[in-house]
Amino acid sequence: MYEQKLAQIAALKADQPQNIAIQCFDPAYFATLGPDEQARLMTCLNSGIENPDSEMGCYACQPSDYDDFRPFFAKALARNHRVAEDAKHTNNWDLSSVDGLPDEGVLDMAALGLPPLSMRVRVGRNLADFPLPGSMTRDQRVALETRMMAAFQVLIDHPDYGGAYHSLTPGNLNQITQAQYQELVDAHIMFKDMSNDSYLLAAGIAADWPHGRGCYVSDDRSFIIWVGEEDHLRIMCMERGTVLNRVFDRLKTALDVVNGIDGLTFAMSDDYGVVTSCPTNLGTAMRASVHIQLPNLTADGTDQKAKAIAKPLGLSVRGAGGEHTPIGADGTVDISPSARFCITEAQIIAALYKGIALLKAEEEAAG
């Protein structure tokens, strides 16, 4: 039944060494699975088969996939995150658990000689009683949005997070116009049109666009919750400043409020921490970033030199519009620690602070 897919995978194994899912797929293991399990695992790999240039090459489609297909995912996680196949993840937001921080644990980029920068910390979360986005029906996507709209009433009534929900779902009472959507995207608040992402389309994650999609935005636009992107929720704090603790601590406080809302139980794994669609986000599901101008390292108009310098520092470089976008015209790039799994949330924000200091020195040396 899967002869064609298996032949495609075999051919890709030879041509695409960077495609982790393809490289970790074992046909002998696949042959031991029953028909339903084979269908599920092949669905997880479809994005990496349809997009040979993938690096991760797979997405989980059920919250239990990482456990149900552990022989495959353990290999893929080990390869991507450079950890042991039996690695276990621990979550910890307590900065006092991290050594070598400045006094009082205050991560003030001004002490590094940096001006106020746009700071953002985001985490992914998936509701435990729904399939992951790659396997949802349109009705399930809209039902999840409806569940979240009820939950958002708690935030609307909260003095620190009051705001409004903006829906892309046709006919939703909070539906916004295309112009309002584009303004939110341009303000780096709303996510881009998923139907333009070949990886998410092949994964089934972008299906039914834009049904069940939207975002909650606080009145001051510093607290945002995406609904229906790559994970069910992306919860984030974002503001311009120099003290990274502000967005990190505010997000943790906001998460404590969200976790207490009736009807919201998030998918967690005993071994892998926060369960996410993409294995690259598993564990913390956290990306902590700053937007910083690197005119010297981007003098050729690309992010190539900045990426080459940042990678050994444990940092990823994205464009000004996020993943798969170009650098800003003024040399602005999005810098964030690469690690998400088998690292704690506190270690991630500390890594951003330490990484930015090192990158600043490299930028000055390139001048």
- What is the set of active-site residues? 122, 230, 234, 278, 280, 287, 318, 323
| Minimum distance of ligand ADP from residue 42's CB (angstroms) | 26
Which of 138, 145, 139 is CA-nearest to residue 204? 138
Stretch binding ligand ADP (CB under 6 A), from 102-110, 160-168, 287-295, 307-315? 287-295
> Which region, judged by CB under 6 A, interacts with ligand DAR, from 48-56, 75-83, 112-120, 259-267?
48-56
Interface region with ligand DAR, contact rule CB under 6 A, candidates 29-37, 50-58, 299-307, 343-351: 50-58
Among positions 52, 105, 314, 322, the unique one binding ligand ADP when judged by CB under 6 A: 322
Measured between alpha carbons, how far is residue 100 from residues 104, 107, 350, 353, 359 in Å? Answer: 11, 11, 9, 11, 18
Q: Which of 43, 280, 284, 347 binds ligand DAR (CB under 6 A)?
A: 280
Residue 338 binds what, of ligand ADP, ligand DAR, none (CB under 5 to 8 Å, by partner type)? none
Instruction: Tell me the residue ranges of DSSP E strands in 168-295.
Output: 214-218, 223-227, 233-241, 268-269, 273-274, 286-293
278: contact with ligand DAR by CB under 6 A = yes
199 binds ligand DAR (CB under 6 A): yes
Tokens of 279: 């294995």
Instruction: Report the site for ligand DAR in 224-243 (rule: CB under 6 A).
Output: 230
- Report the partner that residue 75 touches, choosing among ligand DAR, ligand ADP, none (CB closer than 5 to 8 A by kind): none
User: E strands along the chain, which residues?
Assistant: 117-125, 163-167, 214-218, 223-227, 233-241, 268-269, 273-274, 286-293, 315-318, 332-337
Nearest to 337 by CA among 321, 320, 357: 357
Distance from first CA to last CA of the chain, Å, rounded? 58
Q: Is the dihedral of CA 340, 342, 343, 344 positive or negative?
A: positive
Q: How far is the CB of 173 from ligand DAR (least distance, A)?
A: 30
Rounded Cα distance between 289 and 209, Å, is: 27
Rg over alpha carbons for the chain, rounded to the nearest Å, is: 20
d(CA 41, CA 39): 6
Instruction: Tell me the closest approach of the beta carbon of residue 338 to ligand ADP, in angstroms.
Output: 12
| Under rule CB under 6 A, residue 61 binds ligand ADP | no
Neighbour count for residue 291 (Cβ, 10 Å): 18
Q: Are 289 and 278 in contact (CB under 8 A)?
A: no
Question: Which of 92, 321, 358, 362 is in the footprint of ligand ADP by CB under 6 A?
Answer: 321
Residue 161 interacts with ligand DAR (CB under 6 A)? no
Distance (Å, rounded) from C-alpha 354 to C-alpha 148? 36
Q: Which is nearer to ligand ADP, 138 or 240 (CB)?
A: 240
Whichever of 54 and 289 has its CB closer to ligand DAR, that residue is 54
Site for ligand ADP in 115-154 (CB under 6 A): 118-120, 122
| Smallest distance from ligand DAR to CB 20, Å | 8
Give the residue, chosen from 70, 158, 188, 221, that forms a contact with ligand ADP under the rule CB under 6 A: 188
**50 binds ligand DAR, rule: CB under 6 A:** no
Alpha-carbon distances, residue 343 vs 230, 256, 271, 287, 340 (angstroms): 21, 20, 13, 12, 6
Query: What 3-state DSSP class applies to 153?
Result: helix
Which residues contact ligand ADP by CB under 6 A?
A: 118-120, 122, 188, 234, 238, 287, 289-291, 318, 320-323, 334
Give the interface with ligand DAR as residue ranges (CB under 6 A): 54-57, 199, 230, 278, 280, 323
